[in-house]
Structure 1
Amino acid sequence: MAAPDSQLFKSKTLFWLIALGLAATIGMAVTSVLLDDAKYSVTSGTNSFSKSAIGHGAIADLLEKNGFEILKSQANTDSKLLGSKTSLFLLEPQAIKSIEDHINTLTYYSPTLLVLPKRRGVPNPGKPGWILTSNLLNLKTPEKIANYVTSETEIIRPDENIANWQNTYDLPGAPKINDIQLIKNDKLDPVIWNEHGILLGKYTAEDKDYGDWPIWILSDPDLLQNHGLGDGWNLDFTLQMVSDVTASADTIVIDEIIHGFTMDPSLARAMFSQPFIYATIASLLAVLVFMFATTRRFGAALRQEKSIRDSKAIFLNNTARIFRLAEREREALIKLIDDGGLQVAETLRAPDNIGQASLIDWLDARSHARGCSLSYSTIRIRAQNVPVDDPDQRGRIVIIAQQFHEWRHTILSGSVTNSEPASEEEKK
């Protein structure tokens, strides 16, 4: 006996569900690989998202290729600094009061590289992410930021060319920087310097409120900005400086809150941002497909269930069908009982490939378990034993047909009423 179709969806519905899933996966993969951050890919400022001349995108990418984990933090930076294997980069912060408090909090947690600002770029409206030109900041701006972490700082820009560079890295070359910007502060240990001032200095706070971690202050950002990183010995000095700051750390946290880039973690926002927007759309469409699939109009055709309650009209039609088969009433009744028994067995989930004798025994067991007054075999034997030459043959056939009808109604609508074990399907 063929098992009833238990497939939840039609093939077409399954095809669309699978297609939506694949489309979402491919969309997320393509977006993640080929597209930059949608919000910050066109910034032209002095931040790690920027690919402009005064940006720091190049050094961030380079360090990531060199094995560092780069976190461009836009929220909860302090929580990312917990642990001994992180370093903090503050690349050209803004000179505002809230940033001062923010910097003083972050420098408590990790070794820090503070890069002072020097220029402000003018964005190019015709080329997003580019600048038309850049202007030098007033010296008071980098001086104010340096004083966030130490005091009595002076920033200078010597007019003369500087040749007598010194460094603790034993590098034979010199930084190549135009309009050099230097810092003067007796609290700094010089790392790269000349007779005019310090390009890179190390500051260790005596005040324990600042923590025990040193702070390296780079006075001129041109050393590692996109436009200057590849000039002369700049890259060599930059890599040595990074090695000093990071020591054994393998994670660099670049704080972007200092540039106004803030993004509080939000699952709802992430769902509608690239690349997750594709998965969100696909999920919504899949829900719609599922809803349509569960309706009569759009879903798979409902399986034709055998009615538990046969109407009186059906019984009368079956009896009339027997009478229309002239002189073959008994054979027709037996065939009706056999066909009806198969339908009952299918409805009650009889075992597959069961033989006729075993099927009769199975139906008898179910009849007894469900409280039928007559067994299936009894009704079938009575139909077989109706005499062919009996003048009251039709009356007997009608009675047996009615008995079969009542048996069928009882076995389909009744429940297990004795200790006869139910079938596996009934247990389910």
Structure 2
Amino acid sequence: MSRSNRAASAAFSPTVILVVLLVGMVSLAGIGVLSAYAPELKSGNDGGTHALSRSSVGFGGLTVLLRNLGAPVLLNRGVLTETSDESLLVLTPRPDTKPEQIKDIKHYGATLVVLPKWNAAPDPNHPGWVRTAGLIPAEAALSPLNADLRKTSKLTTRSDRARLVLRRPNGSALGAPVETMQLRTLEGPDWIPVVIDDQGRSVLAMDRKSRIYVLADPDLISNGGLKTLAGARTARDLIAIVRPSGAPVVFDLTLNGFQRSRNLLRLMLEPPLLGLTLVLAALAALAGFHAAVRFGAPKDRSRIIALGKRGLADNTAGLVRLARREPHMAVPYAQIMRAAVARAIGAPRALDDAALDAFLDRVGRTVGAQHAYSALVEQARAAKTPGDLIKVAAALYRWNQEMTRGRQ
């Protein structure tokens, strides 16, 4: 055989062909998964006026501040559930947001609408930053509100940079003295003042009919406003006024183009169709394996008693099974899942077991979890057979996914 023939034979050896096929299959599967989850894989740091943005006009800093203060924070990309009515919903519309889009969001609890203020363009030198190019006209800033409110409302803008202390209508101070540039205030017969400036004009007001809160100047809670300690205190107090005691704060992302979409490929990668997808993939892999190698099980040449961590784990599992103690593992597993979920959603650390269970039940109702944690714990305590253990473990796993899936 010549040298060229030997080179050609080596290039098309079975090993090379198998490697090429495996790389192609993995690449194709990766492209499919990325295509299905592309909208949720975006960081969201595009300089917009939403809770994923870290620019001066965004509100990403507010979510971090609230979490550090112990408040449950959720970033909503889909349809709100009825149990979320116990939470505070924060809407950050853009000037082109239609009033119908806000009306379509079904939420009967406290709602805060933050009006837009600045015309901003991406900074080409710093990804995620923006450059402001003047104020959005008052008419455009009010456009997300319904027509009746727009007719009777007036958005006033100061022409200077002022240092002021915000106050409640009864005269009590709120937050700390902050510096604002071209502060905007809201006036009209349909608004009930909630927070006013030093001239008695409403900065935060509530609509008499819908009971929706509207913040006229987003600089008071945006990333730009949180750059000082005084601004952070003021933002904290503003949210505390409209937030029900102990309720989660839900930041809506659907108005800013981050709505979670449903497609066939994604359905195939999520329960309940995920099992079917895995079975089909396993069958395809098994068929390819049988086509590539000699049919029949290979001779087992491994040790009868395995060494290392795997052997220790298998022996321990065998002892538990031999002693018929599997059902007793249900309660410790439930406690592990509780600790993992509490850490993931930023639950207060000072809560005892009963208070933490109650807290997780409230958050579960907010996110629409199928089961409450307290009910799952009772099922774990009542487990008598390995089948009961498997059912409880599966339910706890689904509860974990429901509680943490929305935090992206």
Shorter-chain TM-score tier:
0.5 to 0.7
- Displacement after TM superposition at 1:280 (Å): 12
Is 1:301 aligned to 2:296, yes or no? yes
Q: Secondary structure at the match of 1:261?
A: coil
* Partner residue, 1:356: none
Aligned to 1:176: 179
1:59-87 Cα offsets, whole Å, 9 max, x none, are 123223433343322332xx335454222
> Which of 201, 204, 211 is matched with 1:200 structurally?
204
Number of the residue aligned with 1:221 = 218
For residues 143 and 73 of structure 1, do their structure 2 counterparts lie closer, same or farther at Cα, with a shift above 3 Å needed?
A: same
**CA–CA separation in structure 2 for the residues paired with 1:240 and 1:60:** 14
What TM-score, normalized by structure 2, do the two folds share? 0.53
CA contact (8 A) 1:81 1:87 kept: no
CA distance in 2, matches of 1:194, 1:167: 7
For 1:229, the aligned partner's letter is L
Which residue in the other structure is 2:286 paired with? 290
The answer to whether the Cα contact below 8 Å between 1:292 and 1:299 also exists between their aligned partners in 2 is: no
Instruction: Specify the alignment match of 1:122 in structure 2.
Output: 121
Distance change in 2, residues 1:150/1:108 (3 Å)? farther
Call closer, same or farther: CA 1:180–1:252 in 2, change over 3 Å: same
Query: Which letter maps to 1:244?
Result: I
- Give 2:136's aligned residue: 137
Cα 1:199/1:270, change in 2 over 3 Å:
farther
User: How far 1:229 sits from its partner (Å)?
Assistant: 1.2
State the Cα deviation string for residues 316-357 of structure 1 (Å, max 9, x = none).
xxxxxxxxxxxxxxxxxxxxxxxxxxxxxxxxxxxxxxxxxx
Q: 1:258 aligns with which of 255, 258, 261?
A: 255
Q: CA deviation at 1:272?
A: 7.3
Indicate if the aligned counterparts of 1:82 and 1:109 stay in contact, CA closer than 8 A: no
Give structure 2 stretches of 5+ with no counterpart.
1-25, 300-408
Displacement of 1:57: 1.1
Secondary structure in 2 matching 1:106: coil
Give the letter aligned to residue 178 of structure 1: M
Residue 84 of structure 2 contacts residue 107 of structure 2 at CA under 8 Å; is this kept in 1?
no
Query: Within 5 Å, which residues of 2 pair with 1:43-62?
Result: 43-62=46-65
Greater helix share, 1 or 2? Answer: 2
Does the 8 Å CA contact 1:74/1:262 hold for their aligned counterparts? yes
Which residue of the partner structure matches residue 159 of structure 1?
A: 159
**Residues 283 and 66 from structure 1, CA distance in 2 versus in 1: closer, same or farther, beyond 3 angstroms?**
farther
Cα distance change on mapping 1:37 and 1:126 into 2, 3 Å: farther
In structure 2, give the amino acid aligned to 1:224: I
- 1:87 equivalent to 2:91? Answer no
CA positional deviation for 1:43: 1.4
Using the TM superposition, give the Cα deviation of residue 88 of structure 1 relative to its aligned residue in structure 2, in angstroms: 0.9
Deviation (angstroms), 1:90: 0.7
1:128–1:162 CA distance, 2 compared to 1 (3 A) = closer
Secondary structure of the 1:173 match is: strand
- Evaluate the alpha carbon distance shift between residue 124 and residue 269 of structure 1 in structure 2; reply closer, same or farther with a 3 A threshold: farther
CA contact (8 A) 1:85 1:248 kept: no
Q: Percent identity?
A: 21
For 1:268, the aligned partner's letter is L
Name the residue aligned to 1:245: 242
* 1:300–1:182 distance in 2 versus 1, CA, 3 Å: same
1:218, CA displacement in angstroms?
Answer: 0.9
Distance 1:55 1:299 in 2: 61
Contact 2:161 2:179 (8 Å CA) reproduced: no
Partner of 2:314: none
How far has the Cα of 1:194 moved from its partner? Answer: 2.7
Structure 1 position 249, deviation (Å)? 5.0
Report the alpha carbon displacement of residue 144 of structure 1 after superposing the two structures with TM.
2.8
In 2, are the aligned partners of 1:71 and 1:251 still within 8 Å (CA)? yes
8 A Cα contact 1:203 1:216, kept in partner: yes
Task: Tell me, yes or no, if the aligned pair for 1:175 and 1:232 is still in contact at 8 Å.
Answer: no
CA separation of 1:123/1:84 partners in 2, compared to 1, >3 Å: closer, same or farther? closer
Cα deviation for residue 238 of structure 1 reads 1.4
Q: Deviations over 1:143-191 (max 9, x none)?
A: 3334557351111112245456441263473232112111122322232
**1:122 is paired with a residue of what secondary structure?**
strand
| C-alpha deviation, 1:122, in angstroms | 0.8
Instruction: Judge conservation of contact 1:155–1:181 (CA < 8 Å) in 2.
Output: yes
Once residues 64 and 81 of structure 1 are traced to their aligned partners in structure 2, the CA distance between those partners, rounded to angstroms, is: 23
After superposition, what is the alpha-carbon deviation per residue over 1:80-128, rounded to whole angstroms, capped at 9, x for unaligned? 35454222101143344xx302323437512111111001211123433
Distance verdict in 2 for CA 1:303–1:265, change over 3 Å: closer
Cα distance in 2 for residues equivalent to 1:193 and 1:173: 12
Q: In the alignment, which residue of structure 2 is the partner of 1:75?
A: 78
The corresponding residue for 1:336 is: none
Moved over 6 A (4+): 270-273, 279-285
Which has the greater radius of gyration? 1
Equivalent position of 1:397 in the other structure:
none
Aligned partners of 2:207, 2:69: CA distance in 1, in Å?
Answer: 26
CA contact (8 A) 1:174 1:232 kept: no
